[in-house]
Chain A
Amino acid sequence: MADPAPLLQVEALSKNFALKGGAVLHAVQNVSFSLRRGRTLALVGESGCGKSTTGRMILRLIEPSAGSIRLDGEELTAATAARMQALRRRIGIVFQDPMGALNPRRTVGASIIEPLLVHRIPASEHSDRLAGLMKDVELDPDFARRYPHELSGGQRQRVCIARALALQPELIVADEPVSALDASIQAQVLDLLLRLQAEHGLSYLFISHDLSVVRFLSDDVAVMYAGRIVEQGPKAAIFSQPAHPYTRALLAAIPVPEAGAARVQPLEGILPDATQLLPGCAFASRCPSAMPRCQASAPPLFELPGGQRSACWLNESAQEAS
């Protein structure tokens, strides 16, 4: 689309895992998206849809099976180990469970400066950088000497965010960073993420199952189902005129904490078996509008007005003449 130089450009990314007994699990299939500088792209979907696998492939924590990942024009999938190590300075990652992501035997300060050691930043800079990072995430400097178990969940996640920021990255992959936090603490961390983005010009690839959080934080949204992106586009379009039946079902299933909220609409059925490659649309078995054609062939992403794209045969007629 009309975007000259996205920071991150992912094209036709796929990941297959070999299972015992020769079966193949198609975790991510043909996923493409781009992320502009200073913006937030949310990857949303339910458990097992492939969103976390996609996020990890960006850092090559999981090796892609096929496809291309370009950071600022440079192909990551072709980078040597040494080059990749250098490129990882530009990408930070924050995980869902901060307790699991921190070494329990290391002080908070030691965890935050670990990336500086790995990337051989002169020791003379460490204490200044640590102080700056802790200030950035609004943690009391005294916490540097404490251990993760002495902190609350929200404080631990701030430590993980500080560590992700240590090498002054341009891109942060945030995998469910607020899902394990209580509502009042979640709001604090979301605000922190927004402030850091504004101050440091960060781009976020924000992976979440929580559409209300995504609605608050993101600029663009990509909805994944069974390893594929079924719909993507600007946040406002996705939430106000969802084009794909799965996006509509997902939105209708969210219980909204408002007086007089509509009853949530259950979506019957479960995810298809990811070891079977279906010829048709993966959502067809649960889709209220499925047609015979949907079982037979998989729809491509159709371009819709307003920059939205949807992989549903129903959108074929609505696509923009190109």
Chain B
Amino acid sequence: MEPLLDVRELRLSLPGGGSVRAAPVDGVSFSMARGECVGLVGESGCGKSLTSMTLMGLTRSLPGARIEGQALWDGRRPAGAASAGPIDLLALSERSMLQYRGRSVGMVFQDPLSCLNPLLRLDYQIAEVLRRPQLTDTGQRAGLRGASLKQRIIELLDMVGMPQPEMRAQQYPHQLSGGLRQRALLAIALAGEPELLICDEPTTALDVTIQAQVLATLRRLQQERQLAVLFITHDLGVVAQLCSRVLVMYAGRIVESAPTEAFLRDPQHPYSQGLLASLPGRQQLRSRAGHERLYSIPGSPPRPGQFPPGCRFAPRCPRAADVCRSSYPAMQASAAGQASCWFPGAAADSRPASSAAAVAGEQR
């Protein structure tokens, strides 16, 4: 079966200083199956949010933006669209993209307060989506009006776990707590009945107990509705809760892709290993005697436009060798997933550059 979404060599470049162009998203490839929940993780500035915004066609209006690559969509499409084969979302005109945005692909952002209109009641904001014609598996359906519109709004709020949906529907965003606002946003995103939901740090601004509520809601929706979810986060704990597969992004590229369980047990890329080792949540109760230190990756990530040649992680990598500094490693199979590293594998194999290279050489 064709993937629901197949992203190939996605690249977004923007004018840098002078004649230089910076590419915060620089050759990102991944695919998503129907009903699959994939975590896209990385630190600030790695390009994870810009990847999703570019897929949604939200970066094309940035000054000087150049978008390359393909995002092949094999889900529902509006009547009149070419019906054979997947459609490249990136090649669509802005007018055509409107048919997909919010309906084939829904999106939930991090900060619910700035995404909701403070002057409009929730029911109005959800109705905006429902009044438009909907795409369904059997084709186009007219927009909702009157009683059926009202009923659908309540259904949606109920579905996302909003308590007292009839009362809440008539409230304004400021009357809701952070967790309820995030659910309202989820209801709006689901109103278009998308097959793919992109969630960009939807729980980052929430307290842990409220985050747990929203995660439980997302998990239930994903299972009940066979919804594919691309979950963008910096929190690997959240990924462990929700996602069956994880993509790790660093400096504009995906450096590792693996099933979540395998990734957490045995990460292959040195960046992934460093990231996991630096999480205090993974340390068990440890004594402070002798000052056990938390592992930290030295240095900081490079900025777009200043990516080093070769592997972009090389300047911070404990096992970088000459080859790492001169040429970028292609994605290759490693353990249960894929990693873009010249010397992937267990952290225990990590040793000074020369011997790591020698070991890697022997294995080939």
Contact = CB atoms under 8 A, between A and B. Distances in A.
Contacts of A260: 261
B75 interface: no
A277 interface: no
Interface stretch (A98-106, A126-134, A182-190): A182-190
Chain A binding surface, main DSSP class: helix
Interface size class of B (residues with CB under 8 A): 35 or more
Interface in B87-120: none
Contacts of B278: 183-184, 186-187
A240 B291 CA distance: 21
A177 to B, nearest CB: 13
B291 A194 contact: yes
Interface residues of A, number: 48
A187 B295 contact: yes
Nearest to B233: A255
Contacts of A239: 285
Contact of A257 (B216, B240, B295): B240
Q: Which of B43, B208, B211, B234 has the most CB of A within 10 A?
A: B208
A257 B282 contact: yes
Nearest to B209: A267
Contacts of B240: 255-259, 261
Contacts of A213: 280
Given A184-B296, A212-B279, A212-B281, A270 B212 contact: no
B105 to A, nearest CB: 25
Contacts of B349: none
A265 interface: yes
A264 interface: yes
Interface string B272-292: 001110111111011010010
A190 to B, nearest CB: 6
Nearest to B238: A255
Contacts of A252: 212
A147 B8 CA distance: 40
Contacts, number: 135
A88 B215 CA distance: 43
B275 A216 contact: no
A316 interface: no
B264 A250 contact: no
A79 B178 CA distance: 39
Nearest to B259: A259
B215 A215 contact: no
A296 interface: no
B300 A191 contact: no
Contacts of B301: 184
Nearest to A251: B208
Nearest to B293: A191
A46 B286 CA distance: 24
Given A154-B300, A268-B213, A253 B208 contact: yes
A213 B294 CA distance: 11
A188 B296 contact: yes
Contacts of A219: 288
Interface in A125-176: 152-154
B179 interface: yes
A18 interface: no
Interface string A179-223: 000111111101100110010000000000101110111010000
B207 interface: yes
Interface in A21-66: 46-47
B239 interface: yes
A314 interface: no
A3 B183 CA distance: 48
Nearest to B271: A184
A28 B163 CA distance: 29
A78 to B, nearest CB: 35
A120 interface: no
B44 interface: yes
B282 A182 contact: no
Contacts of B237: 254-257, 261
Interface string B204-243: 0001111111011000000000000000001111111100
B364 interface: no
A24 to B, nearest CB: 21
B285 A267 contact: no
A260 to B, nearest CB: 7
B275 A184 contact: yes
B297 interface: yes
Given A253-B209, A254-B208, 14 more contacts: A185-B296, A185-B300, A211-B208, A215-B281, A236-B285, A249-B209, A254-B237, A254-B281, A255-B240, A258-B282, A259-B240, A259-B261, A265-B212, A267-B212
Interface of B: 43-44, 177-179, 207-213, 215-216, 234-241, 260-262, 264-265, 274-276, 278-283, 285-286, 288, 291, 293-297, 300-301
11 contacts: A46-B209, A183-B275, A184-B43, A184-B275, A184-B296, A188-B296, A216-B294, A255-B212, A256-B240, A257-B240, A261-B240
